[in-house]
């Protein structure tokens, strides 16, 4: 196949894959679109079998980690970790909407950082709905916080987001150095989100709430909590030993999985479902499709837009480019496209791309798969969220969080270095 035809086919198939992932007609898994598209590109010779094998080897540990951490999050929920979190919020907020918002911010930020953004979207959002209903407060500010923090609060650790794992691999940083550099950007971005969301929803937060009934005590699942903390410690130790974080995540999932199976709280089939294997196949297929697009024109085109250097203005421009691209083609393809261009510049450029693809998706529904999933969960709970409102909030939060996070990253690079 000649170069123009290969480029046209690659771009067309990427558009089909992304449209399928966004719309999901008849509830079909995303993999139904991505895997055949990747196979077609390989069969047509646009991507060689060696290139496909190389991409699979590159994404394999990342996909394995994704499956393991999804199982870990689901088993933690089965143990009652998220119910305990909801009970704590209901008990300590005392029916005050602003206090509840602060607690949702704290819970969502920590859960996203430790158990990935999927845990916040899938497991915490329903708990927040139930907690708001119990307290008689308007749920909208709190569920929007879950959506925004599933993206923004995933900046902290390499394990907080699939995009982070890809960036971590490209950066050459250790686990602890990555976390140290991203700690200040994480904090200031969350603070910016809090200020804007509290102001944006001030009428909802000022609305009177009825006095909640006494909350029933919910025991904290100590075993699950200790396992999650031990798994996080395992990420640090495995990184220092040069071991992929997937093994630490798999160990944590195995500990909770064996306990749940012995106590008959789950089944092998439920554990397999929690691993979201169709979504893992989607990630692999998407990676191969993006590889074709990059190799046949997009990489060269974007290369002319990527600024050189790691000065403040260059980092801001790179993060803005990443945020814009994430809202056009989704953040996962965006990071796959931009990392090969940013990695030669240095770790600072890689982290600026990460800030862009993690914060930028708060502008549109299509910016990240997590946001699309959040929208479906909200609709399932009869929550009212509109495209106009979502976009208006994004236009306020994204610039504030993006700029403040990049400035904080630049400051961290000056102090800590790479």
pLDDT, tens only, 92-147: 887 788 999 999 999 999 999 988 888 888 888 889 988 888 888 888 999 999 99
| Lookup result for tokens 């030669």 | 344
101: containing domain: 3-415
- Work out how many domains the chain is built from and give that number: 1
Report how far residue 230's alpha carbon sits from residue 251's, in angstroms, rounded to the nearest whole number: 10
Tokens of 288: 């191969």
CA distance 402 to 184: 13
Q: Are 72 and 228 in contact (CB under 8 A)?
A: yes
Burial of residue 328, with CB atoms counted within 10 A of its CB: 0-12 exposed, 13-18 middle, 19 or more buried: middle
CB atoms within 10 A of CB 175: 20
**In this predicted model, what pLDDT tens digit does every residue of 230-252 receive, in sequence order?**
998 888 888 778 788 888 889 99
What is the Cα 231 distance to its own chain's centre? 19
User: pTM for this one?
Assistant: 0.83
Give the pLDDT confidence of 340-363 residue by residue, as tens digits: 899 999 999 999 999 999 999 999
* 3-state SS string for 248-289: HHHHHHHHHHHHHHHCCCCCHHHHHHHCCHHHHHHHHHHHHH
C-beta of residue 223 within 8 angstroms of C-beta of residue 79:
yes
Q: Do 289 and 41 touch, CB atoms closer than 8 A? A: yes
pLDDT, tens digit, 9 for 90 and up, residues 287-330? 899 888 888 877 777 778 888 888 999 999 999 999 999 988 88
Residue pair 216/87 in contact (Cβ under 8 Å)? The answer is yes
Query: How far is Cα of residue 16 from the mean position of the Cα atoms in its chain?
Result: 22
Q: Which of 326, 392, 384 is nearest to 354 (CA)?
A: 326
């Amino acid at each position: 196949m000649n170069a123009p035809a290969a480029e046209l086919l690659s771009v067309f198939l990427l558009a089909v894959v992304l449209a399928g992932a966004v719309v999901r007609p008849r509830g079909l898994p995303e993999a139904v679109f991505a895997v055949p598209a990747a196979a077609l590109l390989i069969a047509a010779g646009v991507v060689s079998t060696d290139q496909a094998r190389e991409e699979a080897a590159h994404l394999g540990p990342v996909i394995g980690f994704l499956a393991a951490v999804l199982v870990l999050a689901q088993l933690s929920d089965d143990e009652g970790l998220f119910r305990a979190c909801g009970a704590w919020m209901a008990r300590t907020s005392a029916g005050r909407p602003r206090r509840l918002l602060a607690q949702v911010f704290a819970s969502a930020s920590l859960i996203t950082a430790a158990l990935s953004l999927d845990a916040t979207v899938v497991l915490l959002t329903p708990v927040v709905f139930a907690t708001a209903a119990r307290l008689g407060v308007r749920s909208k500010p709190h569920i929007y916080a879950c959506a925004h923090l599933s993206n923004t609060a995933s900046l902290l650790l390499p394990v907080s987001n699939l995009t982070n794992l890809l960036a971590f691999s490209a950066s050459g940083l250790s686990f602890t150095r990555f976390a140290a550099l991203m700690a200040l950007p994480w904090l200031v971005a969350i603070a910016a989100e809090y200020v804007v969301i509290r102001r944006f929803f001030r009428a909802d937060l000022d609305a009177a709430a009825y006095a909640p009934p006494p909350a029933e005590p919910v025991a904290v699942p100590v075993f699950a909590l200790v396992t999650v903390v031990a798994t996080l410690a395992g990420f640090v130790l495995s990184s220092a030993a040069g071991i992929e974080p997937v093994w630490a995540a798999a160990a944590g999932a195995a500990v909770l999985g064996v306990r749940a199976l012995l106590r008959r709280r789950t089944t092998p089939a439920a554990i397999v479902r929690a691993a979201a294997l169709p979504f893992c196949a989607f990630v692999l297929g998407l990676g191969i499709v993006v590889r074709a697009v990059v190799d046949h024109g997009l990489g060269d085109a974007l290369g002319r837009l990527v600024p050189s250097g790691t000065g403040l203005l260059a980092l801001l421009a790179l993060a803005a480019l990443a945020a814009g691209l994430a809202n056009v083609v989704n953040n996962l393809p965006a990071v796959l496209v931009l990392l090969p261009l940013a990695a030669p510049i240095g770790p600072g450029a890689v982290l600026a791309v990460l800030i862009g693809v993690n914060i930028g998706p708060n502008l549109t529904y299509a910016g990240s798969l997590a946001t699309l999933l959040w929208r479906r969960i909200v609709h399932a709970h009869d929550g009212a969220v509109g495209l106009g409102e979502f976009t208006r909030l994004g236009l306020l939060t994204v610039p504030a969080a993006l700029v403040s996070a990049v400035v904080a990253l630049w400051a961290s690079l000056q102090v800590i270095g790479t």
